[in-house]
Every structure is written in structure tokens, then in C-alpha cells.
Chain A
Amino acid sequence: MRVEVARDLGKADLAREVAEMETRHGSFDGLRQRVFVERCADPRAVDDYVLWKALRDEGGGLEDRTVFDTPEVFRTLTPRRVEMLEFLRHAEVASIQDLAAKLRRDYKNTYDDLAALKAWGLVAVLREGKNQRPVSHVTSLRVSWEK
């Protein structure tokens, strides 16, 4: 059994990827120097360099997928959390509090549900000033059984 999650990435998402790499590595040139010296001592640095180089090139792009090859994820995908994922797919919220209000749930349960989804990479919580803004990483979710 396999659960495949696809995520559509817009310009804002790609800009955020680059901003996160700048935070991790400082600059593209600094990262390039580091990976050519250290090579695979830090696997994430190599992968970031490949991605950053592609995004700098005209026409370069990123496809982002998550695959669950374990049914353990279904313990997290309760009906309430699936509803939350669907809501975040179609609506922007300003903060966790805003999400809780729009879903008519209390803050603590909303926070706990987000934490559970975040542990599997299904949502991210972006820090924007004092706010923590939840965003979905799920455009589509497909369950399949393969031979």
C-alpha cells in the first residue's frame, strides 16, 4: 500500500525555498564552495546546491512529492485532521488562532492536530513576525495498492 502526496508549488513557494536555503547556507556561492570542498559530508548541502542551482537557471523547476510506504500515517490522518488539510488547501489563514476560529475548534486541539500533521511533513507552520501561519503541503493525496 502506498499513499502519494503531491504538492503544487507556485512562485511564492519557490521563493520561500530559496529564502530557507539562504538562511541555512548564507549565499549560493558560499554553498557551492562548501559542497565542492566537503562533497557529501553534509548530504543536505549537496541536495540544496542542486536545487538552488536549478532554480537560479531560467526555466528550472521543482516537483515535490511525499510518499508514505507505511500505513502508520493513517493513525495521524483522522477525519478531523483530513478536514483541516482540505481547509488549508483552499483557504489562507493568518495564524493558528485564525485557523481555529474558522474551523470552530479550540486553539489547543488545533495546535495539537497541526503538530501531528507537521511531524509527517503534511503541513508547515511559517513564522511571520509574531504569528505562526499554517500552510498545507498537500495538493492531492492518492492511495494505491500495487502488486
Chain B
Amino acid sequence: MTRVVRQLIWVRRDEVLDATEAYEGARRAFYGYTYRTLQSGSWLPAIRWDSWEGQDHVDRYDESGQLKDRLPWRDRPLADVLKLVKTFRRNLLTMDLSEL
């Protein structure tokens, strides 16, 4: 039995962290945290941290929301990812995310 927890965290009026987590019992079986920004009326992904197929990784997207690159990532809880987003915001797009 899978319980999905979906959170939309508003960082600014035009920046959100869109979080989806799936739990099997107490175990977090999947996480997907997408930092989105509002561009010309559309919410586009900028960075996404997730564990799709059990592989922790972080994806970056270009100005049009297309996937640009993918890096390995160490599993961190949502609170840590939110702290990164609130601290660095759009600067995350030009930082070495694998070091964060």
C-alpha cells in the first residue's frame, strides 16, 4: 500500500518547490523535488532532485524547461533541499550541485 505525499512549497510568488514523495509504511520509496519558476505565465522546471528507479540524481533544465544535464546526487531529506532552494534560488542553475 503506497501513500503519496504531495507538497507545493511557495518560496516566492514566482518560485515553488514541488515535492512528491511515496511511502510504503514508514519507508520513503520515492522522492521527486522540482524547483519551478514562473516564466511568461508558465511554470517551468529549473532543477529536479529525484530517486527514479532507485538512482539518486539531480537534473537541470534550460530556460525553455528542456532537460539539460544530469548529475549524481546523495539522498537528502526535503528540508535540506528546501534550504538549498531558499538560500541559492536561481543561482542553483549555475552552481556545482553535486557538491551541495
Contacts and interface: CB of A to CB of B under 8 A. Distances in A.
Interface of A: 35, 39-41, 43-44, 46-47, 50-51, 53-55, 57-70, 72-73, 120-121
Given A40-B32, A60-B2, A63-B6, 14 more contacts: A39-B53, A41-B66, A43-B45, A46-B50, A51-B4, A54-B2, A54-B3, A57-B1, A58-B1, A63-B4, A66-B9, A69-B86, A70-B10, A121-B8
Contacts, number: 90
Contacts of B70: 40
Contact of A62 (B4, B57, B86): B4
Contacts of B5: 62-63, 65
12 contacts: A40-B67, A46-B50, A47-B32, A47-B34, A53-B2, A58-B1, A60-B2, A63-B3, A65-B8, A66-B8, A66-B9, A70-B10
B22 interface: yes
Contacts of B18: 43, 47
Contacts of A54: 2-4, 22
Interface string B1-38: 11111111111110000101010000000101010000
Interface of B: 1-13, 18, 20, 22, 30, 32, 34, 45, 48, 50, 52-53, 57, 59, 66-67, 70, 82, 86
